[in-house]
Chain A
Amino acid sequence: MNFEHTEDRRMLADSLDRFIAEQYGFNERDRIARSDEGFDAARWSQLAEIGALGALFPEDVGGFGGAGFDVAVVFESLGKGLVVEPFLGALIVGRAIAQAGTAAQKERIASLIDGSTVAALAHEEPGSHYEPTQVATRAERSGDGWVLKGAKAVVQLGDRAGLLLVSARTGGADDDAQGLSLFLVPGDAQGLAWRGYRKVDGGRAAELALDQVKLGADALLGAEGKGAAILEHATGWGLLALAAESLGAMEVAKRDTLEYLRTRRQFGVPIGSFQALQHRMADLLLEIEQGRSAVINAAAAIDGSDRVAREKALSAAKYSVGRIGTRVAEECIQLHGGIGMTWELPLAHYAKRLVMIDHQFGDEDHHLARYIALGKETSQ
């Protein structure tokens, strides 16, 4: 048994942490998070140079990592810095291509790893509310290729992306698990209409309307109608990434709150000397350590071959950080008092990110229900 990361992973985490401390401090992050662009192209390519993107992919597609713990290490560091650059899109789209792509499609992964292409998953829809098989967007054959029509919701940095992974139905009813297909769509394809906006926790997302978007035969990723399994695989990486990101953000929130309890004086003493507050901080520590274990479980399970075990661990991790992250956010604001409510305090932005992670790829209730459903699959 060994819970130490390998030296390579520790070095990667160190260089990421150093970059964030030196180049991506709170003021810089705030500037980027509020910008119209929604991310910073220069910082993005610097992060790519450090290897933060290469670590997300295995060697056979041009990366130098790609295991569960590689992804967890990178996203934990990103969470510590509240990085808004489009790592999640690169991971999910890249892993989907790596899993199901043709040789020609896999060549596109290089541009994801060097950061020259921004990628986004366009899957959720206005009515889907986290349900992965609830897809009303349709794809119909047209000659050799396809025509897509429909709408996608809250696509992260969608209107800045050069490459989109779009889910669409080639068969079945709107809520059918079968009949989903995936398409690689260039960001400048005819018929895409965007409505972009800022996000509560910084950065940017957009609503997407697809109106008769014409695609070649080579746009289809994987087999027709078999997209659900590829999506589950790719968004699984997303769940692990978000859980690890949350853990990084929790650690900073805890560190800052602890520092505040030690230094803030009321009634002539540091407020950290009050037992009522000590116990609450102890509870947070306990919760965060449980969250860390959940992330470790998920990172270990994601490379395994047992689908149900893998998906259960991923849902367990997302459920855990959803619940714990929200609690950490609320408690850390409360323990800070009024100052915790202010924009100028970094803690408030960690709190917002922690809560908003629960709104990506399913909240704690969604993953609790999914965990129960997966358990029934095993016993059947």
Chain B
Amino acid sequence: MDLNFTPEEEAFRGEVLQFLRDKLPERLSNKVKNGLRLTREDMAEWHAILNERGWLANHWPKQYGGPGWGAVQKFIFENECALAGAPRIVPFGVNMLGPVLIKYGSEAQKQHWLPRILNGEDWWCQGYSEPGSGSDLASVKTTAVLDGDHYVVNGQKTWTTLGHHANMIFCLVRTNKEAKAQAGISFLLVDMDSPGVEVRPIITLDGEHEVNEVFFTDVRVPAANLVGEQDKGWTYAKYLLTYERTNIAGVGFSVAALEKLKRIAARVQRNGRPLTEDPLFAARLAKVEIDLENMKTTNLRVIAAVAGGGVPGAESSMLKIRGTEIRQELSSLARRAMGPYAQPFIEAALHEGYGEPPVGPAEAAPLASQYFNNRKLSIFGGSNEIQKNIISKMILGL
């Protein structure tokens, strides 16, 4: 048993840290650390910086432009990026579609789409969920009917994260109504500029526009945009979901959030002493810190198990559940620490360039909004209830 990284892994960590010191723009990390809303340009800027170094598509093998990292290196990279306040990599093209195309796409598809993901020419979004199919993903109703050399797509997708920035969407569509649930689904790449595609914003409870509804009315999609075989899309969809769950524990985000929370709590005074010395708050802080320390090791245990290659199986469901619970608790504590100053909602203060002095503690403006926004963590990417079903079935054999 040895909990330390090997000297080679430590050297790699040093390389990542050096890169972040040299290349991560302070403007971007300040926005992330202060909880300000990122623009499309901010996200694209960070993608371009990573791509220049060859580190954008860190799940991809070398031959397609990835760095060829193993599980430990990916973990180190994602962890250090989160600690440094780097913007999140927008996962839809790089971490989701990319691996699917590499495994199941035609040679022509790989040559066409993969470079465009890397250089930012295409911004992808995910067309999985529908109004009637959230946890029950296999119940997709959006249809695609072959008409000559085109599919004609009709239906609706929802919860399309950053769909308003995207020009391409990968969709699960039903191509065979006779077949049962999982059979009869296909995986289709749709140009969002096509006639008949309409994107409508969904405003979340914190007032943010992050997710969308996407409507398809007689949208003609070249048959060449079918990935793999018709009616076999469920296999590809599930393969994609295993990548959706990588780094799902979000340990780096939590460590960064805990450090920030401690700084805040040390400054907020309650009864003449810092909140960190208030017995009840200190107990809450200690509990989440212990949970996080345990989580770090659980995460590393899962990574070590797949260090030889592949992606974690049902174990990643444990990481998803506990990892999101910890992140939610941390944002809950940050909200609590603000006391009465959790109440103001000053939207302008959530954007870069707000010139007014803060209302309440300097960090206050985004914290309550972030707490409400983070409720999504236990819902998306397979709700925590679905993850428990997976654990019951796959690990416990119930």
Contacts and interface: CB of A to CB of B under 8 A. Distances in A.
B2 to A, nearest CB: 39
Interface residues of B, number: 55
Contacts of B133: 266
A308 B329 CA distance: 33
Given A343-B203, A352-B372, A124 B340 contact: yes
B155 interface: no
B205 A337 contact: no
A3 interface: no
Interface string B362-398: 0000001101100110111001110010000000000
Nearest to B206: A200
Given A153-B360, A197-B346, A333 B340 contact: no
Contacts of A124: 340
Interface string B274-302: 01001111001000000000000000000
B162 interface: no
Question: Which secondary structure dominates chain B's binding surface?
Answer: mixed
A207 B359 contact: yes
Interface string A117-142: 00000001011011100100000000
A369 interface: yes
A342 B205 contact: yes
B283 to A, nearest CB: 9
Contacts of B380: 338
A368 B344 contact: no
A154 B344 contact: yes
Contact of A356 (B343, B346, B360): B343
A363 interface: yes
B336 A365 contact: yes
B83 interface: no
Interface string A342-361: 11100011011001100110
Nearest to A336: B379
A149 interface: no
Contacts of B278: 365
A40 interface: no
A330 interface: yes
Contacts of A200: 206, 342-345, 368-369, 372
Contacts of A267: 135-136, 139
Contacts of A201: 343
A273 to B, nearest CB: 13
B143 interface: no
A198 interface: yes
B336 A337 contact: no
Given A276-B385, A365-B278, A369-B280, A338 B343 contact: no
Contact of B339 (A129, A207, A326, A355): A129
A97 to B, nearest CB: 24
A348 B360 CA distance: 25
A43 interface: no
A313 B132 CA distance: 46
Interface string A265-295: 1110000000011000000000000000000
Contacts of B341: 153-154
Contacts of B347: 198
B270 A131 contact: yes
Interface string A180-202: 00000000000000010111110
B119 interface: no
B343 A205 contact: yes
Interface in A217-251: none
A352 B205 contact: yes
B153 to A, nearest CB: 22
A197 B344 contact: yes
A256 interface: no
A199 B379 CA distance: 25
Interface string A318-339: 0000000010001001100110
B344 A266 contact: no
A277 B385 contact: yes
A341 interface: yes
Given A126-B360, A134-B271, A175-B271, A334 B375 contact: yes
A356 B372 CA distance: 11
A338 B159 contact: yes
Given A338-B379, A368-B280, A359 B205 contact: no
B379 to A, nearest CB: 5
Contact of B379 (A127, A205, A337, A349): A337
Contact of A342 (B202, B332, B346, B384): B202
A363 B135 contact: no
Interface in B278-330: 278-281, 284
B343 A129 contact: no
A363 B271 CA distance: 14
A126 B359 CA distance: 9
Given A207-B359, A330-B375, A348-B205, A154 B159 contact: no
A27 to B, nearest CB: 14
A342 B347 CA distance: 17
B135 to A, nearest CB: 5
A351 B132 CA distance: 23
A322 to B, nearest CB: 10
Interface in B184-210: 202-207
Contacts of B338: 359
What are the nearest 6 A-B pairs in CB distance? A348-B205, A266-B136, A365-B280, A343-B203, A129-B339, A200-B345
Given A129-B339, A334-B375, 12 more contacts: A129-B340, A134-B272, A153-B340, A154-B341, A195-B359, A198-B347, A199-B344, A333-B375, A334-B379, A338-B158, A343-B207, A363-B336
18 contacts: A124-B340, A154-B343, A154-B344, A154-B360, A195-B359, A197-B345, A198-B346, A199-B343, A201-B343, A334-B378, A338-B129, A338-B134, A338-B379, A340-B375, A341-B375, A342-B204, A365-B281, A369-B279
Interface of A: 124, 126-127, 129-131, 134, 153-154, 175, 195, 197-201, 205, 207, 265-267, 276-277, 326, 330, 333-334, 337-338, 340-344, 348-349, 351-352, 355-356, 359-360, 363, 365, 368-369
